[in-house]
A and B are shown apart, each in its own frame.
Chain A
Amino acid sequence: MQEQLSLIDLVLNASFTVQLVMFILLMASVLSWYMIVQRFIYFRNARDEMYGFEERFWSGIDLAQLYREGNEKASDGHPALGMESIFRAGFKEFSRLAQENEMDSEAVMEGSRRAMRVAAMREEERLERHLSFLASVGSTSPYIGLFGTVWGIMHSFRGLANSTQATLATVAPGISEALIATAMGLFAAIPAVLAFNRFASKVDVLSNRYDTFMDEFSSILYRQAYALRAREKRAG
């Protein structure tokens, strides 16, 4: 052990508190990496879906046709995601309210807008899931690691007080093992902070796009609602 001061030995010989701190940090690191990769895949899917849907939406396709396609996709096991779910919520509410004759165009618009807003909120919530965990790992794990280090150094200096001959060799392993805790804390924190910042900005970008889409879509629905009511008035 004196010859080869390996990392494993240091960790195994650490005091219980330091070992606990290391374990917590390892778990935090594993979980935060899980969430980083998971969010990465999710955001990539959401972005691809958004581009694909926007392309189909502005290709001049009939809205009812687009809605039916979404139905088919959902029954195939591909539930609507992101922008498409906003579209589906708004269009469903619009067509349901438009069938009721006593509803005027303002009320129809109000209802479909509210439905879209709810769907958009839900999408944003889904985008932001796990981000708070990344943020708290990023902000607290250096402190946890520091705690482990301070505790370990405290421990090794107390051992120094008991020994008659104070050499560097008596404290060095303790300090070395204690510093591993700080290293692990930083190791967990740095990717978590980086990923949190990146994902937070991605959430902003995506929710802005959703807002824009909501406005565009509601202007289309507005036109349709007025045209419908005007036709009914002429007919009736």
Chain B
Amino acid sequence: MSSSIYAKPAAPRIILRPALVSVLLHVLIIYLMTVNWSGSEREIVRTKPAPKVINARLVDVSEFRPKPKPKPKAAPKAKTKPVVKAKPKPKPKPKPVVKPKAAPKPKPVVKEQAKPEPRITEQELAAIARADLARAVAEEEQAAEATATAAEMAASYASLIQQTVINYWSRPPSARNGMEALLAIQLIPTGEVVSVSVLKSSGNTAFDRSAMNAVEKAGSFPELQQLPAGEFEKTFRRFRLLFRPEDLRY
């Protein structure tokens, strides 16, 4: 013990433990950083070839589309113009025309036809009207048939689109049963995808993102070029695709 109070007191040295702690901490952090980076990379590679059990379903959206709705209807109108025109017009003004004639039904039609061709007799007019009516009915039936086959075609193309999208879909690992993402897809007649957007999110961004990616990767469905323009407008100009992972085993 030194006699002077001003002598520097011998302080206990604390060196070993802090040095150890500090070096260990840094080594650990560097190790974790490097392992994490390569680790996450490896995980992505592993999930890619995993079997995909998915179910993408086309949703009929004719009632959801406000814009394209008038378009497909306009097309059939053009085809059956004379009949369609004749039908709605007499309805608002049947009375003034009916007065001289007994039969109320063919009357409005006759009146319409009579204007452009005033020299034809009433019997002829009636016959023409009946023939027109019959033709209109036949045409309507034909159109109905056509739309039926078109609907079938549309359904088959829908399943084709669905299959294509499924092939491109790589489901994220966070996907769970019960998730549903509804996408709005816009196509042009060449079958190319113009825009994709999420209508109803599944709540999982990665899942939504993967669904959008699948559609974007699919890019175009050139088979749609074979579809009649009207049918394309009606069904595929804008449509919705529902994504949901089912039969997931975890």
With A26-B26, A41-B17, A118-B5 given, is the CB distance from A7 to B11 under 8 Å? no
With A75-B1, A115-B5 given, is the CB distance from A30 to B22 under 8 Å? yes
Separation in Å of the B31 CB from the closest CB of chain A?
10
Find residues 49-77 in chain A having any chain B CB closer than 8 Å to their own CB: 71, 74-75
Separation in Å of the A184 CB from the closest CB of chain B?
10
Residue numbers in A under 8 Å from B33 (CB-CB): 7
Picked from B6, B10, B38, the residue with its CB within 8 Å of the CB of A118 is B6
With an 8 Å Cβ cutoff, the count of chain B residues facing the other chain is 23
Contact present for B18 and A37 (CB under 8 Å): yes
Separation in Å of the A14 CB from the closest CB of chain B?
15
Residue numbers in B under 8 Å from A38 (CB-CB): 14-15, 17-18
Residue numbers in A under 8 Å from B8 (CB-CB): 122
Residue numbers in A under 8 Å from B25 (CB-CB): 33
Within the assembled complex, what's the spacing in Å between the Cα atoms of A89 and B2?
12
A8 within 8 A of B: yes
With A4-B41, A74-B1 given, is the CB distance from A34 to B12 under 8 Å? no
The stretch that binds B, out of A79-87, A164-172, A202-210, is: A79-87
A contact residues, range:
35 or more
A92 within 8 A of B: yes
B23 within 8 A of A: yes
Q: Which residue, A37, A80, A93, has most C-beta atoms of chain B within 10 A?
A: A37
Picked from A7, A37, A75, the residue with its CB within 8 Å of the CB of B34 is A7
Contact present for B23 and A30 (CB under 8 Å): yes
Residue numbers in A under 8 Å from B37 (CB-CB): 4-7
Contact present for B34 and A30 (CB under 8 Å): no
Residue numbers in A under 8 Å from B15 (CB-CB): 38
Within the assembled complex, what's the spacing in Å between the Cα atoms of A81 and B19?
22
Separation in Å of the A228 CB from the closest CB of chain B?
20
Within the assembled complex, what's the spacing in Å between the Cα atoms of A33 and B20?
10
Residue numbers in B under 8 Å from A8 (CB-CB): 34
Residue numbers in A under 8 Å from B6 (CB-CB): 118
Contact present for A41 and B14 (CB under 8 Å): yes
Residue numbers in B under 8 Å from A6 (CB-CB): 34, 37-38
Contact present for A35 and B26 (CB under 8 Å): no
Separation in Å of the B136 CB from the closest CB of chain A?
62
B21 within 8 A of A: yes
Q: Which residue, B5, B21, B38, has most C-beta atoms of chain A within 10 A?
A: B5
Find residues 58-104 in chain B having any chain A CB closer than 8 Å to their own CB: none
Separation in Å of the B60 CB from the closest CB of chain A?
41
Picked from B21, B26, B34, B38, the residue with its CB within 8 Å of the CB of A29 is B26
Q: 3 closest A-B pairs (Cβ-Cβ)?
A: A37-B18, A33-B22, A38-B18
- A residues whose Cβ falls under 8 Å from a Cβ of B: 3-8, 26, 29-31, 33-38, 41-42, 45, 71, 74-75, 78-81, 85, 88-89, 92-93, 115, 118-119, 122, 126
Given A30-B26, A122-B8, output 6 extra A-B contacts at Cβ < 8 Å: A4-B38, A37-B22, A38-B17, A88-B5, A89-B5, A118-B5
